[in-house]
Amino acid sequence: MSFESLLFQAVNGFASASGLFLVAAGLSIIFGVTRIVNMAHGSFYMLGLYLAVTLAPLLGATFGGALGFWGGILGAALVTAALGALVEVVLLRRIYAAPELYQLLATFALLLIVNDATLYLWGPEDILGPQAPGLSGAVEFLGRRLPEYDIFLALIGPLVLLGLHLLLKRTRFGRLIRAATQDREMVAALGINEALLFTAVFALGTGIAGFGGALQMAREPANLALDLSVLGDAFVVVVVGGMGSIRGAYVAALLVAEVKALCTALGLVEVGGFTFNMSRLTLVAEFLVMAVVLVVRPHGLFGRPQPAQARRGEAEAPLVPLGRTGRLIVLAALVFFAGIPLLGAVASYAPVLALDMVIAALFAASLHLLMGPGGLASFGHAAYFGLGAYGTAYAATVLGLPTPLAFAVGMATAAAGAVLFGWFCVRLEGVYFAMLTLAFAQIVWSIAHQWEEVTGGSNGLFGVWPDPPFDSANGLYLAALGVTVLGLVLIRRLVFAPFGLALRAARDSRLRAEASGIAVEKVRWLAFAIAGTLCGAAGGLFAFAKGSISPEAISVGRSIDGLVMVLLGGVHSLMGPLLGAGGLTLLQDMVMRESPYWRGLLGLIILLIVLLFPSGLAAGLPRKRGAP
């Protein structure tokens, strides 16, 4: 590799950084003022690109190529901003007072809905846009050809940064944004129309994202995977740069993009006889950048520690062990599930469906350990499900290990992943935790997708069949039931043990917990590791149940399924997630498999939950207080 190619890639990095920055900056501004992490932010970027590739030819036909292209970009940005304003007015206004988790879920639901709406409107094929008139050539640079459009893009980032800086410092709108970022209630109490301000800010943020997406028209085709991939990148950028810092967003975008460009430039590298293809390691590089920054500056390069947010909603009632009735119900449920194989004679589908439910129950319960007692909403629980599933599948097929051993390898893989990722995640709380867990899950998904030698790429791994006696539907089901029951017993013991008490203590008041001598981060780290390991067990069972595992099965949709299960059943109760797991599995089996738009349908269900019970499902039900 030459110095010239390094420099060439560096210029390329600037071009990529601009796109990343535009998404992250909008995300940051919106979060600052509304305190909502817009999970659908990548969707606006994606919409911007789809709108641009649609508008540009239309306008081009009437006004000529140049006006069409640039008009298309501008039009796409404006339409995206208008859509953003609409979303703010129709949806976000109803959930500003809702618990954080519900806000994350609502915007995530929006992501699912927008994705399916895009699929409906534009179809599943990638769509290419026109070349940029006047910028479609290339300039000679160090003996290589550098596309003019990339140079243009490289300049856009700093220009938008400057524009935003002036907007924030010099205008009344900017002063309002800065003031509202700190204390929006006080802004309203001074007579400023808060609702209008929020709408304007959301439109601004989504408009910038749409602009960023539209600018990619001459670089990449519009496709349906963009929303999540951009969202994951934007989260990494925001975490690295520091939430709320526009300058930080640019520096972080540049850092991430340059490190990726460097990996591409390095290409094949030989170290000690081994050959590494560095261009395949771009995702790992992104992860390493984030890791280093978070170790040195936990709040990002330009971020500041966030003031502890008061927990919204009522405090949970103290946990009490099951009474006699409760124990009887649990026993009855256990007997029922253990008896399912007997039903197999009359309804052969019963053990298959019950197997799905049992796996979902373990998955949801492991997530609940983090979300309920831990108060940490993971948006990337699919990562550990995936690690468990791939670990098991690889051990069973490639390594040819016996079933129990392969399953153990899967759990160990998930445990290792949870220990590694958890170390970073537990340094953060609230929305930051959610963002980081999602980013890690995206990384795991991408590795599963790209590391073909081990994971089988997009096809995944096949032929993951268990050995006897687990090779029959009933045998596997009973084994899975056993594993799940063991997992649930462990979780329940944990929650009532000193460890569980400490986990809840850290959730209720981190300040008090630390002042009492509780090592909050260590407690959370262990909880993360245990939750990840048990989730990995669910993944391992899944691989055996389906006989295969592919990236599709561990995508972000899996994480969201888990969140919906926990919320359907109620985050306050230990039984809730189990009911939610059963309910959602049945629902998916009966209804959703029939429709290609079932993710969008799931999004609508989430929105309904959030809008009907804006302060949490538990608040919609009568509560028993432990008062004497």
Partner 1 sequence: MSVPVLEISALTKHYGGVHALDGVSFSIARGELLALIGPNGAGKSTCFNIINGQLRPDSGWVRLAGRDITGLAPRRIARLGVGRTFQIATVFASMTALENVQMALIAARGQVFGLWSPARRMGREDALALLEQTGMAALAERPAATLAYGDVKRLELAMALAGDPALLLMDEPTAGMSSGERQAMIALVRQLTRARGLAVLFTEHAMDVVFGHADRVVVLARGRLIANGSVEAVQGDPAVRQAYLGGAPSSLSEAP
Partner 2 sequence: MSARLPLLEIDGLDAWYGEAQILFGLSLQVATGEAVALVGRNGAGKSTTMKAIMGLVRRRANRLAFDGSDLAALPTHAIARLGIGYVPEDRRIFAELTVRENLDLGRRPRPPGATLPDWSMDAVFDLFPQLADMRARLGGQMSGGEQQMLAVARVLVGNPALLLLDEPSEGVAPIVVEHMTRALLRLKAGGLSLLISEQSSDLCAAICDRAYHIEQGELRGHGPMSARAPDIPPNAQAAPPTTSPL
Q: Which residues bind partner 1 (CB under 8 A)?
A: 311, 314-319, 321, 493-494, 496-502, 504-505, 507-509, 511-520, 523, 526, 625-628
CB of 372 to partner 2, least distance (A): 20
Out of partner 2, partner 1, none, what residue 1 binds, judged by CB under 5 to 8 A for its kind, is none
Beta bridge partners of 268: 277
Q: Which residues contact 550 (CB under 8 A, 6 or more apart)?
A: 456, 458, 459, 460, 461
CA atoms within 13 A on the CB side of 473: 16
Q: d(Cα 222, Cα 326) in Å, to the nearest integer?
A: 53
- Closer residue to partner 1, CB minimum distance, 317 or 352: 317
CA angle 426–518–427, rounded 5-degree value? 15
Cβ-proximal residues to 113 (8 Å cutoff; 6+ apart), any chain: 600, 603, 604, 607
394 closest CA partner among 461, 449, 468:
461
Binding-site partner at residue 339 among partner 2, partner 1, none, CB < 5 to 8 Å by type: none
Nearer to partner 2, 185 or 270 (CB): 185
Q: Which one of partner 1, partner 2, none interacts with residue 183, CB within 5 to 8 A by kind?
A: partner 2
The reply to whether omega before 298 is within 30° of 0 (cis) is no
For residue 533, the minimal CB distance to partner 1 (Å) is 13
Residue 181 Cβ vs partner 2, minimum distance, rounded to whole Å: 8
Looking at the Cβ atoms of 315 and 335, the one nearer to partner 1 is 315
Nearest distance from residue 319's CB to partner 2, in Å?
20
Q: Is 169 exposed, middle or buried (0-12, 13-18, 19+ CB in 10 A)?
A: exposed
DSSP 274-317: EEEEGGGGHHHHHHHHHHHHHHH-TT-SS--PPPPPPPPSPPPP
Q: Which does 471 bind (CB under 5 to 8 A by kind): partner 2, partner 1, none?
A: none
501 binds, among partner 2, partner 1, none (CB under 5 to 8 A by kind): partner 1
Q: How near is the Cβ of 395 to partner 1 at its closest, in Å?
A: 27
Residue 516 binding: pick among partner 1, partner 2, none (C-beta 5-8 Å cut-off by kind): partner 1
Where do we find the tokens 């994350």? Answer: 104
Nearer to partner 1, 261 or 505 (CB): 505
Closest contact distance (angstroms) between CB of 192 and partner 2 is 6
Element (DSSP H or E) covering residue 537: helix 520-546
How far is 587 from 564, CA to CA, in rounded Å?
12
H or E stretch at 481? helix 473-496
Decide which of partner 2, partner 1, none touches 173; Cβ closer than 5 to 8 Å per partner kind: none
Least separation, in Å, of the C-beta of 102 and partner 1? 19
CB 84 within 8 A of CB 44: yes
Task: Identify the residue whose tokens are 């006047």.
Answer: 134
Least distance in angstroms from the C-beta of 313 to partner 2: 7
- Binding partner selected for residue 499 from partner 1, partner 2, none, CB under the kind-specific 5 to 8 Å limit: partner 1
Least distance between partner 2 and beta carbon 407 (Å): 46
The whole-angstrom separation of Cα 608 and Cα 616 is 12
Nearer to partner 2, 279 or 615 (CB): 615
Q: Which is nearer to partner 2, 244 or 580 (CB)?
A: 244
Residue 493 binding result from partner 2, partner 1, none, given CB thresholds of 5 to 8 Å by partner type:
partner 1
Question: Which spans of this chain sit near partner 2 (rule: CB under 8 A)?
Answer: 172, 175-176, 178-179, 181-183, 185-195, 313-314, 619
- Nearest CB to partner 2, comparing residues 155 and 190: 190
- Residue 219's SS3 state is coil
